Amino acid sequence: MNKSHELFSKAKKLIPGGVNSPVRAFRSVGGTPFFTKKASGCRLTTADDKELIDYVCTWGPAIHGHDHPKIREAIGDALSHGTSFGTPGPAEVEMAELLVEVVPSVEKVRMCNSGTEATMSAIRLARGYTGKDKIIKFAGCYHGHVDSLLVKAGSGALTLGNPDSAGIPKSLAEETVVLPFNDTKAVEQAFKSQPNQIAAIIVEPFPANCGLILPLPGYLESLRRICTENNAILIFDEVMTGFRLGIGGVQELTQVIPDLTAMGKIIGGGLPVGAFGGKSEIMDQLAPLGPVYQAGTLSGNPLAMAAGIASLKMLRDDAPYKHLENTGQQLANGLREIAHDKGVPLQVPQIGSMYCLFFSEEKVNNYEQALSCNHESFNSVFHKMIEQGVYLPPSSYETCFISTKHTDHEVNHTLEAFSHSL
């Protein structure tokens, strides 16, 4: 038995499912997960000393690659002054200044400890600000394990959600309206059928938790228009896309400006972090100024702030986005060409440093279409790629990420491995 098998066997006796986040268990793709003992650049080293080119990148944060010296140095400097203060610290102000500078929608920002906290708090704030209860989300968009957002779509264009997890009261889930992504008419009908009840729309502007789905032309603009017309809050969940597709996220690329934005991942430089921000008049409803309560003992932790500031400054000053887009296009085009030559139906949606593999004849525009893809083909490719030193996300419903450390060498190796895996 190798070390990863030994560790997983031991972990299953101590940790539910042997993992601290479900997708790590490889249940979607089958087999036993490997354990990582170190990471550097765009590569992981497993507990069994196998080196893998990494396209998970800590599920998004490692845009500069793993163990970047500037981030490591920033953490070390912060560590020399302590790990946590329980008081405001200078780094929190610097982080806020950076976020207000680069994210178009953010006039004020509140730090928290995870993307889940960020979306949860943004929802509470939207409800408190509008005095309304219902929320619209979209099938296939994941916004963390928030009770009212762990809801999946049923049949029809307008579905009152049923809980997608045990432990969530049906009455709470019923405050969430689940709609198909890329369907403007469904959104308009939801507001028409429930007038003055919907507090907010929350959306991943480029959904990246059921593969990668790109919005149809004009779709995000329509969400902005509908929210404005109905005095509802538009929330962009940019935990994944923020700072990865551009320093200002999707809202910078599209110029569709939400009222609130949830952020995370990259702004922690690999340490736990979250944030939400938006218009001052909305953000000022938060305690201690307003009646909407939100708090966190470790919010604005000095180590996370230091790592995140270093990460953001490199993105702002080095502007790696053209390089990341070129690498992403090179990889996506190569994957498509290989699949075409082998007669394998494959869609590879890609934007910037994000892409995914949909084994499908047709373009995927929503969650239902993502469900209908050939997931067995993905699972087979996943395991064959690991054998050849390439680590894709262990689920066909996840998105691949590229870092600035992925070079032509890694891309060529990945394409060769993919060719051998089909």
Q: Is residue 9 part of a domain?
A: yes
> Catalytic: 147?
no
What's the domain range around 367? 321-373
| Residues 6, 81 within the same domain | no
Model pTM score: 0.95
| CATH code of the domain in which 226 resides | 3.40.640.10
> Catalytic: 237?
yes
* Residue with tokens 């709470």, as numbered in its chain: 172
| Residues 346, 292 within the same domain | no
At residue 1, the pLDDT reads: 61
Q: Identify which of 254, 194, 249, 192 has the alpha carbon closest to the alpha carbon of residue 224.
A: 254
Q: Is residue 168 part of a domain?
A: yes
| Residues 132, 240 within the same domain | yes
| Residues 17, 106 within the same domain | no
| Residues 271, 349 within the same domain | no
Number of C-beta neighbours around residue 65 at 10 A: 18
Question: By the 8 A CB rule, do 66 and 291 touch?
Answer: no
Tell me which of 54, 183, 237, 259 is the catalytic residue: 237
Q: Is residue 259 part of a domain?
A: yes
Q: Is residue 266 part of a domain?
A: yes
Q: Is residue 420 part of a domain?
A: no
Question: By the 8 A CB rule, do 111 and 272 touch?
Answer: no
Q: Is residue 274 part of a domain?
A: yes
Cis peptide before 288 (omega within 30 of 0): yes
| Residues 191, 338 within the same domain | no
Conformation bin of residue 172: beta by default, left when phi > 0, alpha when psi is -120 to 50: alpha
Q: What is d(CA 407, CA 54) in angstroms, rounded to the nearest whole number? A: 12
| Residues 341, 299 within the same domain | no
Tell me which of 55, 265, 391, 405 is the catalytic residue: 265
Per-residue pLDDT of the chain (422 residues; tens, 9 = 90+): 699 999 999 999 999 999 999 889 999 899 999 999 999 999 999 999 999 999 999 999 999 999 999 999 999 999 999 999 999 999 999 999 999 999 999 999 999 999 999 999 999 999 999 999 999 999 989 898 887 777 653 333 333 445 567 787 777 778 999 999 999 999 999 999 999 999 999 999 999 998 999 999 999 999 999 999 999 999 999 999 999 999 999 999 999 999 999 999 999 999 999 999 999 999 999 999 999 999 999 999 999 999 999 999 999 999 999 999 999 999 999 999 999 999 999 999 999 999 999 999 999 999 999 999 999 999 999 999 999 999 999 999 999 999 999 999 999 999 999 999 99
Tell me which of 142, 367, 391, 397 is the catalytic residue: 142
| 288, amino acid identity | P
Quote the tokens at residue 37.
């003992």
| Residues 148, 4 within the same domain | no
At residue 156, the pLDDT reads: 33
> Catalytic: 55?
no
At residue 324, the pLDDT reads: 98
| Residues 121, 235 within the same domain | yes
| Residues 158, 207 within the same domain | yes
Q: Is residue 401 part of a domain?
A: no
User: In the chain, how many domains are there?
Assistant: 3
3-state DSSP: the chain helix, strand, coil percent, rounded to 5? 40, 15, 45
Angle of CA points 407, 54, 302, to nearest 5°: 100
Conformation bin of residue 131: beta by default, left when phi > 0, alpha when psi is -120 to 50: left
